[in-house]
């Protein structure tokens, strides 16, 4: 086997929650002496500093970004599972704005946190568009998986959207319910609310087509 297709479900508590993110993995002839090549199905959208619109995955384990020690691919003990877990936990995280190396120094600063919230709003919009793209163009052999996932999760996704439109911070979804990270902070921007409202009906329509209720 030299080609593998994987899907990662966006983690709760992040702007990627309940989304589906597809990756194609190619094992070159000299694998595992060198890392595999990974392509992200972006749908033309960039929703993370490490995931390019062209499909490039920027990760030290893949030798597409400089790293140190165990951050780099090691032919003796690095694995595909390690790569996928790194993408899910380290790339698709709660504050992807700070994945950009030039912004690391802004962590826990008022300016940095403000920019991070704005980035999360834009990211969730892109994540919703990615959901629509996956529903309309499911990757081959994952058609049933995509339909079943959104049949089960569609209601929770729409519930989160309604909370966000009301002003709750992006990423406040916990389990099957919605909890405000800060019940006093209803600080989502008006532009975000408008953009999400425009997408909401499209999500309802696509989820309903798969048998999900709102």
- pTM score, two decimals? 0.91
Provide, rounded to the nearest whole percent, the portion of the chain with pLDDT above 90. 79
Instruction: State residue 69's pLDDT score.
Output: 73
Cα separation, 74 vs 1, whole angstroms? 20
Hey, which CATH number is domain 3-96, 3.40.720.10, 3.30.70.100, 3.10.110.10, 3.20.20.140? 3.10.110.10
Between 66-70, 79-83, 120-124, the lowest mean confidence (pLDDT) is in: 66-70
Query: Is 90 exceeded by the pLDDT of residue 177?
Result: no
Section 25-45 average pLDDT: 96
Give 188's pLDDT tier (boundaries 50, 70, 90).
confident
Give 38's pLDDT tier (boundaries 50, 70, 90).
very high
Cα separation, 137 vs 143, whole angstroms? 9
Contact 55, 40 (CB under 8 A): yes
Q: Are strands 173-174 and 177-178 parallel, antiparallel or unpaired?
A: antiparallel
Contact 47, 123 (CB under 8 A): yes
Query: Is 50 exceeded by the pLDDT of residue 184?
Result: no
Catalytic residues: 58
What residue ranges do the domains of the chain occupy?
A: 3-96, 112-209
Q: How far is CA 51 from CA 67, 71, 96, 100, 167, in A?
A: 17, 17, 11, 11, 27
Q: Order of strands, edge to edge, in the sheet holding 3-9?
A: 3-9, 20-26, 37-40
């Amino acid at each position: 086997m030299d080609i593998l297709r994987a899907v990662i479900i966006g983690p709760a508590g992040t702007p990627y929650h309940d989304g589906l993110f597809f990756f194609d993995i190619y094992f070159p002839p000299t694998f595992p002496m060198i890392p595999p090549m990974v392509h992200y199905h972006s749908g033309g959208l960039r929703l993370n500093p490490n995931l390019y619109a062209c499909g490039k995955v920027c990760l030290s384990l893949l030798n597409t970004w400089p790293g140190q020690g165990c951050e780099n691919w090691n032919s003796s003990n690095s694995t595909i599972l390690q790569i996928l877990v790194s993408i899910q936990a380290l790339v698709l995280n709660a504050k992807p704005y700070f994945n950009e190396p030039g912004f690391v120094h802004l962590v826990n600063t008022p300016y940095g946190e403000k920019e991070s919230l704005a980035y999360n709003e834009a990211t969730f919009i892109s994540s919703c568009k990615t959901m629509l793209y996956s529903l309309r163009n499911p990757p081959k052999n994952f058609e049933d998986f995509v339909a079943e996932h959104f049949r089960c999760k569609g209601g929770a996704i729409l519930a989160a959207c309604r909370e966000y439109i009301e002003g709750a911070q992006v990423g406040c979804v916990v389990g099957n319910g919605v909890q405000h990270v800060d019940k006093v902070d209803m600080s989502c921007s008006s532009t975000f609310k408008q953009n999400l409202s425009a997408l909401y009906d499209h999500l309802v329509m696509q989820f309903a087509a798969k048998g999900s209720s709102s």
